[in-house]
């Protein structure tokens, strides 16, 4: 049975890797995208199968990348995402996850599972709106009086798996904007005020602000957009990537987050060229198995969670910047 499952997954990966329908298939970054999707097809269902619980890294960031890949033309077997879809569409069960309490942050789990739920909504066949509203209530309950979702508060730049306060607040805000429940409406303005107070003094902060302003329909001609765009322009390294700070060596997560942010501002002079260089950096740094080195804080560490999350973010960036 184990051999049969392995063969089936291998066939699935080959099918996925050959089914991109947008862009030039021989473009290096496009091949990197396909390899990343193939890696995530193997890894996303593995955690719950092997550990008996659901994780923010596999069933959050990595699964979001697979839902995005499916929207972009990849044929991904239903069984690959079935467990994640069932889990994120039942927010009432999220408190009963069987993970190690010592490594669990319920506020983080709510934000990440809710983001995966939003990505999965087109595939949920029953009570999708009920699931979204229940998730929105959970996310809203995690907001502080300051309007933020303080996750990994001791790390001002965040990380792929734990986000940090600025990115977590944006991800929570994004979920809440999709739900009409009263709790969501009450928290949105406080979240917006908190995000508007963020300074674009790091790559994650500048990128998150650009994602936030794009979602709100802010014009590219305003200083709100021009300042973080200029920060990313100055912070891009000679090899095309981005690190967490303007003078830092490039990291895969920061590069992916910057690319996701820039994808919404291609019409601004010079942005397309920045995107091309950033995509080339991700292609050049991808591992042979389709993943990327985990972006840890400090850098150079070893972490399965950060590796899976980093790969999910990188795949999302490549898909968004085709």
CATH number at 173 reads: 1.50.10.20
Quote the pLDDT of residue 85.
Answer: 98
pTM score of the predicted model: 0.91
Quote the pLDDT of residue 153.
Answer: 84
User: Of the candidates 226, 196, 231, 230, which has an alpha carbon nearest to the alpha carbon of residue 212?
Assistant: 196
Sign of CA dihedral 270, 28, 71, 310: negative
Instruction: Count CA atoms closer than 13 A to 222's CA, side-chain side.
Output: 10
d(CA 47, CA 39): 13
3-state secondary structure of 123: helix
* Cβ neighbours for 300, distance < 8 A, ≥ 6 positions apart: none
Write down the residue that tokens 């879809």 correspond to: 85
* Cβ neighbours for 306, distance < 8 A, ≥ 6 positions apart: 57, 159, 160, 161, 253, 294, 295, 296
Quote the pLDDT of residue 29.
Answer: 80
Write down the residue that tokens 């090899």 correspond to: 239
Averaged pLDDT in 10-residue chunks for the chain of 322 residues: 34 38 61 97 97 95 98 96 97 83 77 98 94 98 97 92 97 97 96 98 98 96 95 98 97 98 97 98 98 96 97 98 94
CB distance 97 to 52 below 8 Å: no
Q: What are 200's two structure tokens?
A: 């674009």
DSSP conformation class of 103: G
Range of the domain at 14: 2-320
DSSP conformation class of 95: G
Number of folded domains that form the chain: 1
Q: Where on the phi/psi map is residue 245: left (φ > 0), alpha (ψ -120 to 50), or beta? A: beta
């Amino acid at each position: 049975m184990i051999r049969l499952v392995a063969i089936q997954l291998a066939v699935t990966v080959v099918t996925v890797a050959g089914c991109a329908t947008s862009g030039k298939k021989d473009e290096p970054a496009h091949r990197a995208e396909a390899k990343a999707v193939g890696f995530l097809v193997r890894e996303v269902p593995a955690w719950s199968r092997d550990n008996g619980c659901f994780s923010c890294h596999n069933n959050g960031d990595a699964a979001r990348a697979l839902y995005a890949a499916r929207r972009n033309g990849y044929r991904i077997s239903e069984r690959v995402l079935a467990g994640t879809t069932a889990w994120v569409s039942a927010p009432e069960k999220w408190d009963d996850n069987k993970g190690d309490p010592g490594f669990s942050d319920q506020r983080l789990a709510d934000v990440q599972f809710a983001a995966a739920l939003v990505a999965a909504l087109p595939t949920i066949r029953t009570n999708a709106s009920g699931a979204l509203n229940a998730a929105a209530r959970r996310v809203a309950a995690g907001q502080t009086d300051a309007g933020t979702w303080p996750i990994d508060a001791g790390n001002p730049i965040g990380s792929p798996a734990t986000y940090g306060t600025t990115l977590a607040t944006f991800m929570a805000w994004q979920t809440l904007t999709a739900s009409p429940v009263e709790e969501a409406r009450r928290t949105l303005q406080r979240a917006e005020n908190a995000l508007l107070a963020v300074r674009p003094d790091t790559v994650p902060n500048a990128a998150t602000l650009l994602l936030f302003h794009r979602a709100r329909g802010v014009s590219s001609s305003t200083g709100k957009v021009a300042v973080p765009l200029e920060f990313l322009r100055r912070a891009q390294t000679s090899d095309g990537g981005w690190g967490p700070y303007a003078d830092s060596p490039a990291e895969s997560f920061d590069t992916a987050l910057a690319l996701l942010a820039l994808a919404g501002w291609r019409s601004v002079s010079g942005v397309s060229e920045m995107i091309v260089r950033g995509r080339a950096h991700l292609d050049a740094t991808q591992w042979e198995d389709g993943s990327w080195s985990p972006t840890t804080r400090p850098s150079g560490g070893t972490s399965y969670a950060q590796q899976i999350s980093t790969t999910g973010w990188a795949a999302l960036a490549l898909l968004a910047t085709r």
